[in-house]
């Protein structure tokens, strides 16, 4: 729930905490389940292809949510001569079952160089040649008419089922009907292509994924935004269910995804990242969160890395606190609002550079001055976080959670995307309307599933280093969500 945008900010937002959990066999099982998932993640063989050869057809594998919120699916074709045709299908609903309007964007794109800012990313340049709009019903046509600038064909407004020219490079300079839509293809400025090999599954072909640049959480900033993170990756495989529906669609026949049964948002239990995540700014991390619905406490461990496959640790943050459940979201159906307080935080520098950096901040109320040691966790709760750097505990954040399921039926948990400008969602009006990559359930302890879990899963959110023998100190969880 804290955001860490740069090491410096990071330090400021670091609160550390140690979760102490009773050393019960069942609990250990749980933590091992999560531990092995994280290990699996680190052991995953991921090849990053640089420069990426993006020639081919890349499609969404889910209904994507962009800040706003906007619900969409994407189907992008990149040709060997560097031209592309990108279809974006927008919907009225969270399941992408009711198409609203679609865009067909043509242009060219080519990789320039490896990104200096985002390791593992490739910076590209692109050029747009034409943008067309198609409304799928009268409601969308009416709405889009109000969004178009006045110089855009007032006598021939968008009609359902008729392609409408929003932009053409041959038009006179200055005329641009995409303005009102806050349309942008800045996502093409940053790319990353991954090939993922599955262990012990030689039969399965390696999966390829194409990550395009992130979309700014503020609509007004989108057009100039230089991405430093990524959106949900596109897939080249056509075998998965959703990809198949999306890849066979065209401008006039948008993909209609199946309506999903409503999934209740239950936080109780343990959750870990499904991949090495990248945050704008640029940080690579894995998260492990745990929630106890009875005591309304949470804890998280955020492991940060210097590399895009999460092999070289730089520091970790443990945090904990309490939370409360709020209303169901009116912005994103099925999602629920929460309020989180971070009351404890601890930091562990994991490389020499971070250790020195922490020691540089002398006398600034951030742990014990000059005492940071490589690999040694330090509680910063007693200094109320890092005052000099602007991070004060307790810290409150307004969150949005949504539930999902992976193809094998395992629970997924989504929480709010961090604001792109590095700010914290510390007011209700800053609450996210889109999500970070999902966490997957690990261990046992799902409420209702095993009552015994409630008894054993007792977090004590105190921070301190003298853990009695009977207490296992889980350097767990706290994430900055």
Ligand X SMILES: *[C@@H]1O[C@H](CO)[C@@H](O)[C@H](O)[C@H]1NC(C)=O
Positions in the binding site for ligand X (CB under 6 A):
53, 55-56, 322-324, 326-327, 337, 339-341
Residue placing its CB nearer to ligand X in the complex, 36 or 384:
384
- Report the residue number, 6 or 55, with the smaller CB distance to ligand X: 55
Give least dist CB 367 to ligand X, A.
23
Compute CA 283 distance to the chain's CA centroid, rounded to the nearest angstrom.
12
**Is the backbone of residue 5 left (phi > 0), alpha (psi -120 to 50) or beta?**
alpha
Provide, rounded to whole angstroms, the least separation between the CB of residue 180 and ligand X: 30
User: What span, in angstroms and rounded, lies between the C-alpha atoms of 371 and 183?
Assistant: 50
Residue 396 Cβ vs ligand X, minimum distance, rounded to whole Å: 6
> How far lies 29's CA from each of 25, 270, 444, 475, in Å?
6, 12, 8, 15
The smaller minimum CB distance to ligand X, of residues 211 and 361, is found at 211
SS3 sequence of 339-364: EEEEEEEEEEECCHHHHHHHHHCCCC
Between 194 and 303, name the residue whose CB sits nearer to ligand X.
194
Q: Between residues 55 and 248, which has the closer beta carbon with respect to ligand X? A: 55
**What is the phi/psi pair of residue 455, to 5°?**
-70, -40
In Å, how far from its chain's centre is CA 358? 27
For ligand X, give the closer residue by CB, 48 or 139: 48
Q: Distance between CA 481 and CA 37 in Å, rounded?
A: 19
Q: How far is the CB of 281 from ligand X (least distance, A)?
A: 26
CB of 208 vs ligand X, minimal distance in Å: 9
**Minimal distance in Å, beta carbon 361 to ligand X?**
28
458 CB-near residues (< 8 Å, 6+ apart): 21, 22, 292, 295
Which H or E element spans position 398? strand 395-405
């Amino acid at each position: 729930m804290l955001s860490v945008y740069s090491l410096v900010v990071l330090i400021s937002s670091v609160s550390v905490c140690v979760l102490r959990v009773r050393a019960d066999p069942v609990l250990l099982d749980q933590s091992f389940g999560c531990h092995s998932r994280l290990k699996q993640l680190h052991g995953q063989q991921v090849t990053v292809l640089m420069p990426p050869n993006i020639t081919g057809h890349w499609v969404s594998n889910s209904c994507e949510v962009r800040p706003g919120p906007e619900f969409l699916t994407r189907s992008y074709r990149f040709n060997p001569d560097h031209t592309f045709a990108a279809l974006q299908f927008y919907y009225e609903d969270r399941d992408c079952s009711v198409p609203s309007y679609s865009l067909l964007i043509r242009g060219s794109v080519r990789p320039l160089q490896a990104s200096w800012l985002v390791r593992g990313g490739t910076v590209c340049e692109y050029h747009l040649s034409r943008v067309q709009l198609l409304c799928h019903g009268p409601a969308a046509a009416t709405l889009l008419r109000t969004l178009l600038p006045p110089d855009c064909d007032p006598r021939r407004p968008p009609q359902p089922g008729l392609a409408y020219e929003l932009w053409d490079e041959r038009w006179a300079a200055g005329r641009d009907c995409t303005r009102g839509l806050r349309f942008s293809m800045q996502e093409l400025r940053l790319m990353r292509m991954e090939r993922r090999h599955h262990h012990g599954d030689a039969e399965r072909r390696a999966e390829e994924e194409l990550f395009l640049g992130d979309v700014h959480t503020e609509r007004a900033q989108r057009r100039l935004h230089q991405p430093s993170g990524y959106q949900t990756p596109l897939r080249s495989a056509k075998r998965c269910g959703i990809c198949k529906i999306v890849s066979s669609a065209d401008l006039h026949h948008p993909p209609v995804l199946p309506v999903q049964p409503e999934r209740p948002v239950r936080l109780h239990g343990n959750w870990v990242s499904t991949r090495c995540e990248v945050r704008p700014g640029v940080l690579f991390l894995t998260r492990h969160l745990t929630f106890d619905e009875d005591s309304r406490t949470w804890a998280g461990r955020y492991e940060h890395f210097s590399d895009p496959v999460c092999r070289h640790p730089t520091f970790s943050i443990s945090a904990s606190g309490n939370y409360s459940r709020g209303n169901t979201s009116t912005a994103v159906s099925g999602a629920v609002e929460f309020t989180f307080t971070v009351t404890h935080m601890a930091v562990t520098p994991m490389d020499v550079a971070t250790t020195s950096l922490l020691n540089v901040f002398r006398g600034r109320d951030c742990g014990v001055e000059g005492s940071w040691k490589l690999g040694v966790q330090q509680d910063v709760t007693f200094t109320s976080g890092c005052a000099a750097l602007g991070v004060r505990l307790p810290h409150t954040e307004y969150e949005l959670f949504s539930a999902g399921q992976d193809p094998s039926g395992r629970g997924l948990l989504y929480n709010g995307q961090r604001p792109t400008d590095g700010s914290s969602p510390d007011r209700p009006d800053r609450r996210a309307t889109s999500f970070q990559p999902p966490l997957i359930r690990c261990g046992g302890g799902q409420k209702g599933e095993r009552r015994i879990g409630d008894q054993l899963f007792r977090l004590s959110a105190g921070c301190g280093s003298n853990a009695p023998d009977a207490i296992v100190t889980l350097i767990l969880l706290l994430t900055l969500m």
